[in-house]
Amino acid sequence: MTVVEFFDPRCAYCKRMVPVVEELLRRQRDVRWVMKDLPILGPGSVLASRALLASQKQGRYAELHDAVLKLREEPSEPVLKREAERAGLDWARLKRDMDDPAAQRRLDANLALARTLNIQGTPAMVVGGTIVPGAVDLATLERLVAEARPGAPR
């Protein structure tokens, strides 16, 4: 079972979803969670999303994602540098990868997919064939996953 979450790294509701998702994944180890960066809240969101995508090349996406979504300050370049280094990333390499046109192409593809799915904001999750707009609690998320499983009563 795969769940896709569209999120903006500056979105307060996305930040609230982090512990809910962590608990779901602890309880249901067969759920695969796919993150789609969707920077819709301005230049800081785009910068943070580019850093997140670039961090994949160093195998540290999860660590930087956790750090960025815990930020209580704007994700400026000095803040991202600090958090990237804390997460064990090579900043010079990360910066080069952030500036690689491939990072922007991936963001553009995420934005196009969100438009195709008529996703209007973040967070938004795709659970089975259901698009779930906005933050939800753990019980709701567990119910949605259960309903989306193959063989679940319709």
- Phi then psi dihedrals of residue 6, to 5 deg: -90, 125
Q: What pLDDT shows up at residue 136?
A: 97
**Cβ burial, residue 19 (10 Å; 0-12/13-18/19+):** exposed
Give the architecture (CATH level 2) of 2-148. Answer: 3-Layer(aba) Sandwich (3.40)
Lowest mean pLDDT segment, chosen from 27-31, 48-52, 137-141, 150-154: 150-154
Could you tell me the pLDDT band of residue 154, with boundaries at 50, 70 and 90? low
- Phi then psi dihedrals of residue 130, to 5 deg: -105, 130
Quote the pTM value.
0.92
Packed helices 43-55 and 61-70: angle between N→C axes, nearest 10 degrees? 150
Q: What pLDDT shows up at residue 150?
A: 82
